[in-house]
Amino acid sequence: MVVELFRPSVQHVLDLVGIFVFAISGALLAVRKNFDVFGMAVLAEVTALGGGLFRDLVIGAVPPAAFTDLASFVTPFVATALVFFLHPQVERIQAGVYVFDAAGLGLFCVTGTTKAYEYGLGLTASAALGTATAVGGGVLRDVLANEVPSLLRWDRDLYAVPAIAGAATTALCVRFGAFGALTGTLAALFAFLLRLFAMRYHWRAPRAWHRRSEATEEA
């Protein structure tokens, strides 16, 4: 039995904060793509809930939490309304949004890993689904917006790697019987800080050695 990181009420609030911030990023991309309000809502919902929805379907946790918890489903619509009416102001605090996004990344990679493990998956598969929980919504967002997913682009700061690190740390803690509220929080904090440092110092994954491609950063 995996120990819960926080009390259920606290966990729920943190999940909603993560969902809200992910939804903001989806709605902002929709604005940049000149989508209408429906397109904004779709990207907000997909970004916020896509990763968790994918995880729940894989592990057989049906109906998925995204559809059984009304607050989780409605929160992206609130984010959509905020961006619809105040997107210039939201754009100005983009740095703050990135910080909360990093926090959501850290939280979701840990909770996604533990939930997958509780449903009987092995540690490697659980860590993979924990990573997917954290980054899956962003991938779906970019695909729907007709963009190369950010986590696949060489000209983007590390995003998937912090999630992988947090999920792997969680899996190792479970493996050695050391997982608890403290170690789980530290694993989430590790992913969070790694993402912040990646943004601050523009850490990026290496490309293939001796590559012949002369591809440059997309406009």
Q: In 3-state terms, what secondary structure has residue 34?
A: coil
Structure confidence at residue 10 (pLDDT): 78
**Range with the lowest mean pLDDT among 126-130, 177-181, 214-218?**
214-218
Nearest Cα to Cα of residue 47 among 154, 134, 147: 134
d(CA 108, CA 14): 10
**Per-residue pLDDT band at 118 (split at 50, 70, 90):** very high
**Within-domain flag for 113:** yes
Structure confidence at residue 2 (pLDDT): 66
pLDDT of 63 strictly over 60: yes
Q: What share of the chain is helix, strand, coil (3-state, %, to 5)?
A: 75, 0, 25
Structure confidence at residue 214 (pLDDT): 58
- Average pLDDT of the chain, as a whole number: 90
**Within-domain flag for 207:** no
Whether 18 and 107 have beta carbons less than 8 Å apart is answered as: yes
| DSSP 8-state class, residue 56 | H
**Within-domain flag for 208:** no
Structure confidence at residue 213 (pLDDT): 59
**Within-domain flag for 211:** no
**Per-residue pLDDT band at 4 (split at 50, 70, 90):** low
Q: What is the mean pLDDT of residues 167-189?
A: 94
**Within-domain flag for 216:** no
Alpha-carbon dihedral sign for residues 199, 157, 19, 133: negative
**Within-domain flag for 209:** no
pLDDT digits (tens, 9 = 90+) for 107-117: 999 999 999 99
d(CA 9, CA 3): 15
Whether 29 and 205 have beta carbons less than 8 Å apart is answered as: no
Structure confidence at residue 201 (pLDDT): 95
Q: What is the percent of the chain with per-residue pLDDT over 90, rounded to a whole number? A: 70
What's the predicted TM-score (pTM) here? 0.89
**Within-domain flag for 26:** yes
pLDDT of 32 strictly over 80: yes
Q: What is the mean pLDDT of residues 31-37?
A: 93
Q: What is the percent of the chain with per-residue pLDDT over 70, rounded to a whole number? A: 94
Structure confidence at residue 219 (pLDDT): 43
Q: Which residues of 30-68 are buried (b: 16+ CB within 10 A; e: fewer)?
A: bbeeebeeebbbbbbbbbbbbbbbbbbeebebeebbbee
pLDDT digits (tens, 9 = 90+) for 151-177: 888 889 999 999 999 999 999 999 999
The number of distinct structural domains making up the chain is: 1
- Residues with Cβ < 8 Å from 49, sequence gap 6 or more? 19, 66, 72, 73, 76, 137
**Within-domain flag for 214:** no
- 56 — phi, psi (to 5°)? -65, -35
Residue scoring higher pLDDT (5 or 22): 22
**Range with the lowest mean pLDDT among 19-33, 42-56, 110-124, 205-219?**
205-219
Checking phi first, is residue 34 left (phi over 0); if not, alpha (psi -120 to 50) or beta? left
Structure confidence at residue 96 (pLDDT): 79
Helix (H) or strand (E) holding 173: helix 160-175
Give me the domain span that covers residue 178.
8-201
